[in-house]
């Protein structure tokens, strides 16, 4: 196996320059050049856009490029992008990644023109993780601020600080003296099939005095509802869910914890929604649930089975 790590850039804060307000301009070669980041092989700039503008089409192209690199012998792959959607794209890659070689996503919270820009350190740590033998079999992970996070658990919890990314159960490991040290053995689920398409799936948040009428206007193949608490909505939204002609997945909007299944019994409770045909997201946050629903629909996989396999603790 080639010991080198392939590096691709999609853009984001780490690539942004300018006088005053910045925008993405730098490519992968600019980021790697002159930086001691270990053994780097293939370098590619696949896009130069902010994280908020990434699409599933771009991510699938990146997935195909990354898979090609490991088939040709790369020991791992690093994907650089904007942090606005990093938690979602990390999970996207993790659901599909079939290889033992790791795929590491990273970025920066401070652009290169700011004091204390974190891009170089994050990139160096990401390459170290991607090239380390003990990273094999862990799927896709997110590396920022010398922390290695599992894609399914990591969330962006602050808008601007360098330590913006956290995992509710804690990180998988830390980068210490230029190498990853893991707290848990490698464990992952089998990869989902590559989707044939990427159907639109809106994310709707349930709020106070919400009758769910928005659901009646949607012409989509599926919806994720970010519900309160352990998976609760109003009685009105519960009725709207019953009328929906598409799969509805319910996740907790709280930021941590799982949806329940049988504790509460009122209209709009978790047990009531399950009786109406809702699929509970379990431990997945609403944004990860949306990614998984799109992938399941695009690959024509049974939605309930996919979430049953991936919504629990493992």
In the prediction, which pLDDT does 2 show?
55
Assign a CATH topology to domain 203-310: Rossmann fold (3.40.50)
In the prediction, which pLDDT does 1 show?
45
Does the structure show a pLDDT above 80 at 38? no
In the prediction, which pLDDT does 313 show?
80
Cβ atoms of 78 and 115 within 8 Å: the answer is: no
Range list for CATH 3.40.50.1170 in the chain: 5-182
The mean of the pLDDT values for the chain is: 96
What confidence tens digit (pLDDT) does each residue in 97-119 have?
Answer: 999 999 999 999 999 999 999 99
Burial class of residue 294 (count of CB atoms within 10 Å of its CB; 0-12, 13-18, 19+): buried
Assign a CATH topology to domain 5-182: Rossmann fold (3.40.50)
What confidence tens digit (pLDDT) does each residue in 128-177 have?
Answer: 999 999 999 999 999 999 999 999 999 999 999 999 999 988 999 999 99
Range list for CATH 3.40.50.40 in the chain: 203-310
Query: Can you tell me the distance from the alpha carbon of 169 to that of 261, in angstroms, rounded to the nearest whole number?
Result: 21
In the prediction, which pLDDT does 3 show?
72
What confidence tens digit (pLDDT) does each residue in 250-259 have?
Answer: 999 999 999 9
């Amino acid at each position: 196996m080639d010991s080198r790590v392939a590096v691709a850039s999609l853009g984001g804060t780490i690539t942004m320059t300018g006088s005053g307000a910045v925008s993405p301009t730098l490519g992968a070669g600019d980021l790697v050049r002159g930086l001691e980041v270990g053994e780097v092989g293939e370098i590619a700039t696949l896009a130069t856009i902010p994280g908020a503008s990434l699409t599933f089409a771009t991510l699938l192209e990146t997935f195909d490029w990354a898979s090609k690199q490991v088939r040709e012998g790369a020991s791992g792959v690093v994907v650089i992008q904007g942090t606005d959607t990093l938690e979602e794209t990390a999970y996207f890659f993790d659901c599909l990644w079939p290889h033992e070689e790791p795929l590491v996503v990273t970025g920066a919270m401070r652009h290169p023109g700011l004091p204390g820009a974190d891009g170089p350190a994050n990139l160096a740590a990401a390459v170290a993780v991607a090239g380390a033998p003990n990273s094999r079999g862990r799927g896709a992970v997110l590396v920022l601020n010398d922390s290695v996070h599992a894609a399914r658990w990591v969330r962006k919890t602050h808008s601007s600080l360098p330590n913006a990314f956290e995992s509710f159960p804690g990180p998988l490991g830390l980068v210490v003296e230029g190498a990853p040290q893991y707290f848990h053995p490698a464990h992952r689920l089998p990869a989902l099939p590559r989707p044939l398409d990427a159907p639109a799936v809106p994310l709707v948040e349930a709020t106070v005095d919400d009758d769910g009428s928005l659901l009646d206007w949607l012409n989509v193949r599926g919806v994720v509802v970010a519900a309160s608490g352990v998976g609760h909505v109003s009685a009105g939204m519960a009725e709207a869910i019953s009328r929906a002609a598409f799969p509805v997945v319910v996740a907790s909007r709280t930021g941590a914890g799982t949806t329940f299944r049988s504790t509460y019994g009122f209209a709009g409770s978790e047990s009531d929604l399950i009786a109406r045909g809702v699929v509970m997201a379990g431990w997945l946050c609403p944004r990860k649930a949306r990614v998984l629903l799109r992938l399941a629909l695009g690959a024509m996989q049974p939605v309930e089975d996919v979430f049953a396999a991936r919504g629990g603790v493992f």
